[in-house]
Every structure is written in structure tokens, then in C-alpha cells.
Structure 1
Amino acid sequence: MGMEEEEQVIGDFNRWRQRPELAEAVAAIKALTAVIQRSQASTMMGLEIELKNASEMLKAWDRSSISLSAGCDLFMRYVTRTSALEYEDINAGKSRLIERGERFGDISLKARETIALLGQDFVQDGCCILVHGSSRVVLALLKLAANNGKNFTVIVTEGGPKKTGMEVSKKLSAAGIPVTVIVDSAVAYTMDRVDMVLVGADGVVESGGIINVIGTFQVALIAHSMKRPFYVAAESFKFARLYPLDQQDLSISTGQEESSNPARDYTPPHYLTLLFTDLGVLTPSAVSDELIQLYL
């Protein structure tokens, strides 16, 4: 892949990811579909090599992004999953790959709506929900529950030095949802008032655990010790073929540098109650089965 094409792929990806409604993985899917559309390859094998190179280049561009890597891998598996493509006429094969790419992008875009629909059933009238992180799918779920007439309150953690909780608080307030912001260190103090915890995920790994914004693990530990359900809302394109064993292993698995202020942590599966996904409501132990199906 030449320098000009690399710049085009990264440029496409960055343009798509600037749209607030698009997840990073969906932006990658859009950029990879454009690679197929531009391709001048004369054989299906040549086209597949171009696509694979573009996928690897995107993954290398930000090795710390779990959802970007998982999205690229799933896209490659989805669009090239039949060997019959190798024997197709290049024009017919290219059209089919474009169709698959667009279909995969549409499925991924609708994932948030599906998760919101499934997860809002777990929001009970009068409950108090603790939210950590700034997940778009969590926001969609809470807004849908409120639109369906459920009355509940939300407590949002401040979100460290970037104070991401303040932005989440503004969006919830704008949707008419009562919200309180607390400092991250007040989670244990506040947990008595909480009926359930709800977080998003940067990645869902093979064990059924999650990789998410720093502090998720300690929130899960406190929720577990105080017997509060801990729910995760995550799209299936964030299911990653990773198996971190601990926090140190996480930095190796994701390629992120170890530092005194890490951006993410790993929460093991036994601290999670259920995962709301576009594949259904899953127990952590069911994740590995779904991963096998996704990559078959």
C-alpha cells in the first residue's frame, strides 16, 4: 500500500469518526469499504490483500484502541468469509464485497438501538443508576428508558482529569433525567444509594471480562462487595480476541504504554452481572461462544 493510499484510508477514517453518532469501529468499517470501492486490483486475491493491508494499517495507527482493532478483524472476517470469492469475476466479487461492507456498516450502526431496546427493560421505576465513563450506548439506553416513561435518577462519576462525567451529566439533564455528579473517590460512599451500575466498554474479551475507561474495575469491585448488579452495554463489534489475565497483561495485549496514569483497566468476568449486546443479553460466560460464532 502506497503512501497516498495510506493517507486516504486514515483520512477517510478520521472524517467518519468525527461524526458524534459513529463509533470508532464503524468509522473503520466505512473507511475499509471505501478501499474496496477505490481498488484497481485485477483479481479477488489482489483485492483481499489490499483490504488486509488497509486493515492492518488502521490497527497499527492506534494500537491502544480495542474497538478499532476488533472492528477491523470482524469486518475482514465478515466480508471475506467464503472461499468462493476467490473464483469470482473481479467486478462481480468487488460488488459483493462492497455490498457486504455496507451491510456490515448498517448492522453496526443499528447495534446501539438494539442494545438500548434490550437494556432499558432492566431500568426499573424509582431506581438509582450509577454510570462510569462516557459511553454513547449507555446514553442511548437511558434516554430510551426515560422516553418510555420510566422515572429514575442517575449518579455519574466525575471521570478523572478529563472530567468526562460533566459532559454525560449535561446530556442526561438535557433529556430530562435527574442526575448528580460525584468525584470518583466517592463511589464506595455512594453505593448504598445505588440500585444498579451501568457502564460501556472499549472491548469485550474472550473471558467475558471488559476493557474500559480507568476506574471501571474499582467500581465493579465495590458493586460486587455491596451486592449491586453491574451491567455492561457494548456492541458486538467490540468483541475482541484478547485474553488479558491481569492489569499488567492488559498493557501488553492492547499495546498501550504502562504509565502512572493508565487510560483503561480490565474488569474480570466474575464482577459482571450481564452484558447488553446487539446479539442479546448475555452472561459473561456466553461471550466466548459468541466470539467463536463471529469468527467462524
Structure 2
Amino acid sequence: MTAVAQNNDFDIYATFQQFLQDDQISPPLAAILSLAEAIVKSNAGTMFELVQALNDSAEELKRRSPNPISLNAGCELFIAFVTLFPHESDNFAELKKELEQQGRKYAAEAISFRDKIAELALGFIKDDSVILTHSYSRVVLKALLHAHKTKRISVYVTESRPRGLGLKTYEALTAAGIPCTVVLDSAVAYVMDRVDFVLVGSEAVVESGGLINYVGSNQMAIIAKAANKPFYALAESYKFHRLFPLSQYDLPTHNPNILSFPTPTARSAGQDSASTTAASEASEKSSANKGTSSSPTERAMTQEQIAKNPGVDYTRPDLISLVFSDVGILTPEGVSQYLVGMFAG
């Protein structure tokens, strides 16, 4: 039985979800704050027990989260900090308190990282720039709003199905007076010739220098490369993650159900055929009643079909021009070097 598990009243995942209620708190920071809380609730009496308890808590978060990638980065960073933290505490209880306070302090200060990144990105945004962005990202939104204070910019944002998070970006930008147009995910290649560069956020920047972000980022980077347009990623340093995927199928979020084919049986095939015919007849009757039999009916994916699609994808480092972070403007290779130094102590 682990030190954290001995406290039956503490639910690490519920705590994590509670921190996420604050719109300024991203999953890595919520994970750090949750682990800081786990230290307080822990009955550990030695550093070994405490580190073991934190590892167990991190595994619990990973197990219960549908997308553990970015929170893993936060867990990894905090546990490394606890392990390497120099201290002069008189007793272990004081050390636990100090570690908890340092975790909370880091999370509070880390919110300002977006301001640093926005200032760095400003130097690459010229007057009258036309920018393409994807989905919704706090740090990208911060950068665009900051640029709008001194420069004229226009923004295309993808709709980002199925969650439609690009519409959230659109609402925030138009409310601030920034000209913005929503682009279908399938129209990225169509609009690419009209933009000056692509600006995306990140779930994580991995050890290869590649990017994990909301699904669709990879195809956007491929199109940008073909059109010779810069592809910039914005990422707070707490999203740097010691993960080395070689393909989409190496991501922790991938499972056999994603993009899988159904296994048909003679009976189900007959049922599917019958149900399809019935649905078609019902559609035709409905259209006839409305006098619009020649118009195509609107179709939408089912929740089951959506569930078989990936939520994030991986973009290779050779497709990324630069990574803007609170630790500086880095090439993808620079991210690898930074990660090695950060976790080497």
C-alpha cells in the first residue's frame, strides 16, 4: 500500500479536475498542483516513500485520463524537481511542506510564461500579417491579442472538429476586434497560399523536437512545408516531455480501436443493409413532404464514429520552423538539448 493510497479521502484525479476548472490552468499545471496536494495528504515518512507515492499518483492520473500526454509532462517535471530539490530542512515534515509550497509557487509563476512567449513571438509578426492557427490554445491566443495591441493582423482559424474549439478562438479574437475567419479543416490547403505563417499551440513538445497537438496539426504542417510557409509552435517549458514517438502510433493516446474497421458478420451485414434501406426510405419521404427531394440530406458522424478518431497527432521536427518558449526561441534540435540539460539536474 502506497503512502498516498493510505489516505482514503484523497482522490488525485478529482483534485486534478478541480484545478482544471480555472481556465488559466492547463493540464500540466493542474498535474503539478495535484501532486503538490498529494504531498500534503501523504503519510510518507521517507523520501523514498514520498517519491514512490508521487509516481503512483502520476500513474493514477495517467490511467484515468483519456489524454494523459500533457499532464504526464507536468508530473515528470514535478517528480524530477522533488528528486533533485536541494534542502536544509530539519525534519521530513518540514521538507514535505517546503516541496508543496515550491510546487504551488512554480504553478503560479508559470502562468506568466505565456506573456514571455507572446513577447518573443511579437518580433516575428509583421504589420498586416495574415496568420493561420488551429483549434484553441491559451498561449496562441495570448500572442495574437498581444500583437493586436501594436500591429494590424488578420487570422484564419480552423473549425477543429469534432469539438469545434476553433470557434472558441474565433469568438475571443473577434471580441477583441481582430479580423478573423473560420476555415473548414478540409480547406487548410485551400487557404495556405493566403497566409504568411502558421501559429499553433501544443499538448507537448517531445524529445525529438516534434510536436504533439490537437489532431490536424500534422497535416497543417505538411501543407505549410509544401507551400514554403513557416510553421511556428508555441509551448511553455512545462510542456517539454521526455517522449520519443517515431510515428502517430507511438503516442500514449493510441489504442487498437482508433481508426479500426468493424468486423462484419452475416447477420449484422444483413441488419446494416436493412437499416440503411429503411433510413434511406425515411429520408426520401421526409424530403418529399418538404418538397425538396432533389436536395441532399445533411449527414453527421455518430459519436461511435467520432470515438474511433484520434484526438491528437504528432508533427515531425523537420516540419517545424521554430518553437517559441519561455526559455527562448528554439529550433527543434534545441528542444532536445534543453530537455537533456533540464533532467540531468
Same structural fold, with TM-score higher than 0.5 when normalized by the shorter chain? yes
**Change over 3 Å in CA distance of 1:170–1:133 after alignment to 2:** same
Report what 1:56 is aligned to: 59
Aligned equivalent of 1:286: 334
Give the stretch that moved more between structures: 70-79 or 112-121: 112-121
Query: What residue identity is the alignment partner of 2:324?
Result: F
Larger Rg: 2
Q: Distance in 2 between matches of 1:205 and 1:43?
A: 32
- What residue number does 1:276 align with? 324
* Equivalent residues in 2 for 1:1-296, closer than 5 Å: 1-2=4-5, 5=8, 7-62=10-65, 64-82=67-85, 89-147=91-149, 149-250=150-251, 253-260=252-259, 261-296=309-344
Cα distance in 2, alignment partners of residues 67 and 256 from structure 1 = 17
Greater per-residue helix proportion = 1
Contact 1:64 1:256 in 2 (8 A): no
**Is this contact kept in 1: 2:197–2:232, CA < 8 A?**
yes
Q: State whether residues 80 and 97 of structure 1, in contact with CA within 8 Å, keep that contact through their aligned partners in structure 2.
A: no
Tell me, yes or no, if the aligned pair for 2:113 and 2:236 is still in contact at 8 Å: yes
Work out whether residues 7 and 42 of structure 2, in 8 Å CA contact, stay in contact via their aligned partners in 1. no
* Cα 1:240–1:118 shift into 2, 3 Å: same
**Shift in Å, 1:191:** 1.0
- Report the Cα distance in structure 2 between the residues aligned to 1:97 and 1:284, rounded to whole angstroms: 32
Q: Distance in 1 between matches of 2:257 and 2:136?
A: 23
Q: Which moved more, 1:221-230 or 1:2-11?
A: 2-11
Q: Which amino acid aligns with 2:114?
A: R
DSSP 3-state at the match of 2:136: coil
Q: Does the Cα contact within 8 Å between 1:55 and 1:72 map onto a contact in 2?
A: yes
Q: Which runs of 5+ in 2 are unaligned?
A: 260-308
Equivalents in 1 of 2:80, 2:124: separation in Å?
Answer: 33
Aligned-pair distance for 1:145?
1.0
What is the TM-score when the length of structure 2 is the normalising length? 0.79
Question: Structure 1 residues 114, 6: closer, same or farther in 2, change over 3 A?
Answer: farther
Summarize the Cα distance change of 1:18–1:3 in structure 2 as closer, same or farther, 3 Å threshold: farther
Give yes or no for contact 2:117–2:139 (8 Å, CA) kept in 1: yes
The 8 Å contact of residues 274 and 281 in structure 1, kept in 2 or not, is answered as yes
**TM-score normalized by structure 1?**
0.92
Aligned length in residues: 292
For residue 18 of structure 1, report the CA deviation from its aligned partner. 1.3
What SS does the corresponding residue of 1:28 show, helix, strand or coil? helix
Structure 1's unaligned 5+ residue stretches are none
**Structure 2 CA distance for partners of 1:213 and 1:83, relative to 1, 3 Å:** same
Output the CA distance in 2 between the equivalents of 1:257 and 1:3: 35
